[in-house]
Chains A and B, each alone.
Chain A
């Protein structure tokens, strides 16, 4: 088998397990564990006056009932605020179980542990919580008025307020630039809530043996869950291990941690001395996990006769729900990534992050970018319409040119570092997407429109990831990295990286992710960072292993290491296939032995004559074994980019929108596995289509989520998703050894903007609010009769 695997559409190594029912997801583990279930608040805002558990005590199989008052001090504390920021002046997080006040429907109030889930839910149903119902704060703008408060001590419901301003080259502020511009527009945009909605919900399973705690969690960050659990339970870190088993999708919601259940389930397992498991059900996922997207944006833009943006002034109201465990990452990303591939004259962005009595808001695939891209791309379309110019021409005059990289946008990005684009070729990308969709030849007619949207995605944020690579004496290569997998095919792509770097067949390589027993230092899987971060860290670790292998083999072959190569797992003198030794033998020689545990091991024993008696068996500065560990820590993010275009048809009677064609041009630097990248794009676009046409979280005035089921939250089926046509441009990142960017979130980012652009084109009606349902489009038609 060829070892040039980087860049090849290698079939996934995960699949045989997942296709035959041998995947191990959270709820597949822990047969016989006790089951936890939760009593959750039915009110959006209420004071807990009393909890009466007496009726539940008769349930056969009940093991324990816990309320906030039962929790020890460390466990009872508010959950951590994961990403503090100076502008987040009023950050608030929930207690693991409600203390006094509940602030959204679904907030956990009581934990029940019983012999099985049926019995635990029976007990939950018998627990009576006496609530004093308080005035709910529902609706983003109502919340911003501050008449009623989500948290008594947060005036105006404002958790954070941040202004970033980048003046023009001549030093003018954005407002000044808008006022002085030859053309000006002002408008408002709205985006509603959706959610990650992985098909596997969250879940936690814990076992305690009296000394060591093992926790399995359906998480996007096992290392950080481990630190959080150790801190909350007061355990020494070496006595806690956390494992992310097969995870049935994440899309952002599982990067949040520790969830209440991630603390409470291990705590109960320790207290009871029994294994305890909690598996989230779908209703719980809707009302107690996290949502995203909801924003109101006010835009003022000034531009010249060609459509060049001279000044852009954006004010954002961001709905962050009842708590802010993930800080203000989402609105920071919206306000910075809004700039897209464009050179904007002067820019001012201001956001207020507002509390409401709804489920907390944390990143969902795209993480604020879809809203920012919607804002900028609607702006571009409006400029074009105002000037009577082609929408792609207006974009073209604003694009950053290839010679301008690295391009500094003058802002601070979500990693606290400058927003400097590393590489790209946006004009070529625009040319490609126009050609792919047939932009210039498109035949417009009523009910048929074409749309486009462009984006830049900061990917591969730090601080770091690591990789460990070990070659064992059977010639197998064991790779581990700390970040987690939720379907991205990491076992395959990291094996491709390792096999390519080491020169071994891929079937000798195995990859473990998200298991703190194998790798303890990591950040997690989010922000399209896994391939960039762990891919590079594994490559660097492989290079260490390779150098050591060549050094040991050179000794054995009496050759110069510089003359050696590794091909198909054989270390040999370049061009002389006969003179070589297998990597397995190198691994044996790398570990000087006293005891021969098998025939191969004999070669490394003390009387085998391999080692010089004049030197210590393990040289100073060296280590036994053929293994290596390295880390990749980037100076700043890489910047992937893409442009999407679509053709839609709208039904003249029903106002139904049908996407006829959908094309994607995508640049994520060098591709490790094009098949997997395409799959990521397809899935992202599908989620984008859901967010553009179908999905929303519908809260009523009482703060009740009225569509909290798959019956009413319209996740698209195969019949709703278009075929996606893709083309790739590869501008390698200069920031990392492999030249890769990231691809995980890309597909979803511009879809609402593309669909709005196309529907607007088809209907001749401004589309300023997403998602758009047939009934909304129907209403819009009635309000714009003379279109």
Chain B
């Protein structure tokens, strides 16, 4: 049996007909065509599939799409503003915080939420803040640097 749901994704109401078992990650990727959200493990460990649900980071691979009917979701495609990439995105580019880019959308969503909560995190808080996301390429050093840089950019730009 399929269910008609409406998700407000990146500010736009999107309708989909999904079976109850459809993962939010699959719904975003395959029903709505938003393939920026990636799936790395499908058991909630790697964090690649992290999206913001009403502003809070969640694992979209551990969430059934039907359970978030009517909710607001931000994916990597929704992070940039009308003036271009967000400070977090720009900081990642500036600090070489990505290589293959597969885990990156999950990190970007996680860090966006982290800095909203804590605009000036310490080194320790940065490491803890990103410690739910796996990256196999970068060794994390430049990701941690990018989080600090993003915090600077956000402060400079008064966001």
Contact-residue bracket for chain A: 35 or more
Q: Give min CB distance, A773 to chain B, whole Å.
A: 19
Q: Are B36 and A23 in touch, CB under 8 angstroms?
A: yes
Q: Give min CB distance, B152 to chain A, whole Å.
A: 17
Q: Is B148 an interface residue (CB 8 A)?
A: no
Q: Is B117 an interface residue (CB 8 A)?
A: no
Q: Is A71 an interface residue (CB 8 A)?
A: no
* Residue from A21, A22, A200, A282 whose CB has the most chain B CB atoms within 10 Å: A21
Q: Is A487 an interface residue (CB 8 A)?
A: yes
* Residue from B33, B36, B79, B132 whose CB has the most chain A CB atoms within 10 Å: B36
Q: Are A682 and B103 in touch, CB under 8 angstroms?
A: no
- Nearest to A690 among chain B residues (CB) is B136
Query: Measured between alpha carbons, how far is A247 from B101 in the docked complex, in Å?
Result: 9
Residues of B within 8 A of A24 (CB): 35
Residues of B within 8 A of A433 (CB): none
Residues of A within 8 A of B39 (CB): 27
Known A20-B89, A28-B35: A682·B141 in contact at CB below 8 Å = yes
Query: Measured between alpha carbons, how far is A478 from B91 in the docked complex, in Å?
Result: 29
Q: Are A687 and B92 in touch, CB under 8 angstroms?
A: no
Q: Are A21 and B100 in touch, CB under 8 angstroms?
A: no
Q: Are B41 and A719 in touch, CB under 8 angstroms?
A: no
Q: Is A612 an interface residue (CB 8 A)?
A: no
Known A679-B142, A717-B132, A717-B134: A21·B45 in contact at CB below 8 Å = no
Q: Give min CB distance, B94 to chain A, whole Å.
A: 7
Q: Are A724 and B141 in touch, CB under 8 angstroms?
A: yes
* Segment at the B interface, from A8-16, A174-182, A337-345, A588-596: A8-16
Query: Measured between alpha carbons, how far is A450 from B136 in the docked complex, in Å?
Result: 26
Interface of chain B residues 7 through 33 with chain A (CB within 8 A): 19, 21-22, 29-30, 33
Contact-residue bracket for chain B: 35 or more
Query: Measured between alpha carbons, how far is A27 from B92 in the docked complex, in Å?
Result: 24
Residues of B within 8 A of A282 (CB): 40-43, 46
Q: Are B105 and A487 in touch, CB under 8 angstroms?
A: no
Among B40, B105, B128, B130, point to the contact of A21 (Cβ < 8 A). B105
Known A20-B85, A719-B128: A199·B139 in contact at CB below 8 Å = no
Among A488, A715, A721, point to the contact of B139 (Cβ < 8 A). A721
Mark contacts of A542-558 with chain B using CB atoms, 8 A cut-off: 1 yes-contact digit, 0 otherwise. 00000000000000000
Query: Measured between alpha carbons, how far is A724 from B139 in the docked complex, in Å?
Result: 9
Mark contacts of A224-253 with chain B using CB atoms, 8 A cut-off: 1 yes-contact digit, 0 otherwise. 000000000000000000000011110100
Query: Measured between alpha carbons, how far is A21 from B93 in the docked complex, in Å?
Result: 14
Among A21, A199, A246, point to the contact of B34 (Cβ < 8 A). A21
Among B33, B46, B85, B141, point to the contact of A721 (Cβ < 8 A). B141
Q: Are A21 and B36 in touch, CB under 8 angstroms?
A: yes
Residues of B within 8 A of A675 (CB): 96
Residues of A within 8 A of B52 (CB): none
Interface of chain A residues 716 through 738 with chain B (CB within 8 A): 717-719, 721, 723-724
Mark contacts of B82-96 with chain A using CB atoms, 8 A cut-off: 1 yes-contact digit, 0 otherwise. 000100010011101
Q: Is B50 an interface residue (CB 8 A)?
A: no
Residues of B within 8 A of A685 (CB): 139
- Nearest to A684 among chain B residues (CB) is B139
Residues of B within 8 A of A721 (CB): 139-141
Q: Are B76 and A487 in touch, CB under 8 angstroms?
A: no
Q: Is A281 an interface residue (CB 8 A)?
A: yes
Q: Is B80 an interface residue (CB 8 A)?
A: yes
Query: Measured between alpha carbons, how far is A23 from B139 in the docked complex, in Å?
Result: 21
Query: Measured between alpha carbons, how far is A366 from B128 in the docked complex, in Å?
Result: 30
Known A20-B36, A20-B77, A488-B99: A199·B142 in contact at CB below 8 Å = no
Could you list 8 examples of A-B contacts with CB < 8 Å?
A: A19-B85, A20-B80, A20-B85, A118-B22, A248-B38, A248-B101, A715-B136, A717-B140
Where the two chains meet, the residues of A that have a C-beta atom closer than 8 Å to any C-beta of B are 11-12, 14-25, 27-28, 31, 116, 118, 197-200, 246-249, 251, 281-282, 486-489, 675-676, 678-679, 682-687, 709-711, 715, 717-719, 721, 723-724, 747
The 6 A-B residue pairs with the shortest CB-CB distance, nearest first, are: A21-B36, A487-B100, A248-B102, A18-B101, A686-B139, A682-B139
15 additional contacts, CB 8 Å, given A19-B92, A118-B19, A247-B100?
A11-B94, A15-B93, A15-B98, A19-B93, A20-B77, A21-B105, A27-B29, A28-B35, A116-B30, A199-B136, A676-B96, A683-B138, A710-B41, A710-B46, A719-B128
